[in-house]
Structure 1
Amino acid sequence: MGHLDDASLFLQAGGQPEPASARDEAAALRACAELATHLGLADVQAQVLGRHSNLAVSLTPHELVARVATGTARWRAAEQAQHEMAVAKALARAGAPAVRPAVAPGVGREGHDLAGPHAWVSQGRTWHISLWQRAQVLTTPPDARASGQALAACHTALAQASLPPRAAWGMLDELHRLLDDPDLLRQGAASADVALVRRLALACRQRLQALAPALQALHGDAHLNNVWATPQGPLWGDWEDTVVGPVEWDAACLVAGARVLGTDVAWSEAALQGWWHAREAQGSAPSPALLDECVLGRTLFVTAWMWALGAANGSPERRARLTGRLAWLRAH
């Protein structure tokens, strides 16, 4: 049986690789089942729901999902998960259209926070795991305009929330940390391309800060794959990238892929319009100049992360997306 490692929540996450084998995945599932038992959840069967930059695990028969930090854990301090949970709880209190942290009245061991984040040691390995309520996700894509409106509602809730203080522009700090990692070159990034991204990133940061926008807590990764259609309407999930910055950064996340790679153009632009009109209706008109600059910043950020996660040596589809972003940046 494993145990909680509370101290590791305040340390740099220990370089956990993304589960790349059935053995690694089985170890992650074992850790989730052990943690669930420790928290008082009975008869749990842990099953993989999704494999992305992190691992999503259903905790049957409970309507809960465990998210295991895998691909991103090497580069992010574990306290990022604490910020994410603080944001998610604030959104839940406000009734905003966002995924809810795990709350199960009458379930779970007294004195334990069911949601976490938890640092769970299983067979000598520390896993960073958070628990979430499982939403009833429909098979159809979420309505684009309604998704943009839902994102605007989340922004309103976060602007009014009382959250722990955080440094602004964390996504740009993370971008530079990724570019400073010597493993990027071993992962297949060309030194000339890394130098280009670094130069563009420094100039982009200077222009963004010169615009002096209002700053607040954001989603940080607000694109089509992180919003789900539910019977109650679009629901925004995966708040792992939550940062403090201008709301236009999240708007850029909606459309950067469409404008750079030409993917999901109709959905992305309609979602942007839904968000834009909602902000105008609230008396907070967005800035087109700031949005354009954030599209550049977002593209630089995603490019660095694609290198870090091995896209240069990955599948043909991932290599094509990386190549497309680099071509756009070279022409920018």
Structure 2
Amino acid sequence: MGQGEEVNTRSPPEVEIQERGEIYFFYRPKVNKEEAHSSDDVQRMYIVLRPESGETSTQVKQKEEEEEEEDDDPPPTQGGHGSQEVNIEKNSLLRFIVMGQKKLPDPTKKSRPLWGFVELVTTKIEDVKDALKGEEYDTAKSGHRHKAAARPVGEGIYRILRHHSGKKMHTHLIYKLEFPSEEEKNEPQEALNIEKEASFLIQIKNPTQKGQFRGLNKKKRAVFPAHLQGQFGKLRYHAADPPDFLNYEGCEFLLISASDDIEEELGLELKSEVEETQDASCSDLLNTFGETSSTNALLKGIWV
């Protein structure tokens, strides 16, 4: 149903919207488990960000594989994978993100930051569908293994924004869920800290510096183009400004709990386009990726 809209409830506004779009949450049961019945049964938690508008309609991302083959040695100013421009108002741009702790930080209380990374950036819906599907495979030590398909567990709208509080600017990732509806149960969402709405500070990790978390090994870290890498200087972390940082595979970041009441914290109200209908046919997640696994977690708020 689209990116929704936002309403500033303070004058003057304390925030500047950098990016608007849709956000989808998924979890995958542990290997050889067909279903999950608690967070102990979860192997991975994923977030998919689909930007649809922002301060600029064009974002720069790393090139996709077939394009890289045509240009094996991109200039260092373009990053380690070359660069590609995407008009997010006309074309799909999908960021497939892995949360390291298999949950979000609890936005209702102060807690340690949680680490995540961008595993895939693509303009092709099929690439994300492939990343979500299950598979059968064999290993030398454990024999035959079964990996179940990822389950959709939340859908909503999001914003990445600058927040000016005092002298220092920082960036937030905020979202509001559209599915499941408030009338449904909330079992997997509660276990994974997927609240109905939430605000997190988001900080991008400098791939050339050691962080407070172990993170990805050096070969898997993002190689940012010069104009993005230069913003770090000698700092270990930088605000997600611009959000283009997230358009590079291997980009590592921290999410830090801020609030479960966006309007109270930031003076911004997110308005969904499906608040009154709440019909499954309105789900952009299902219309985009199809029903590759049970939708009970998304539509009914129960473990599957």
TM-score, normalised via structure 2 length: 0.24
The structure that is strand-richer by fraction is 2
Higher relative contact order (CA 8 A, sep 6+): 2
More helix by share: 1
Q: TM-score, normalised by structure 1?
A: 0.23
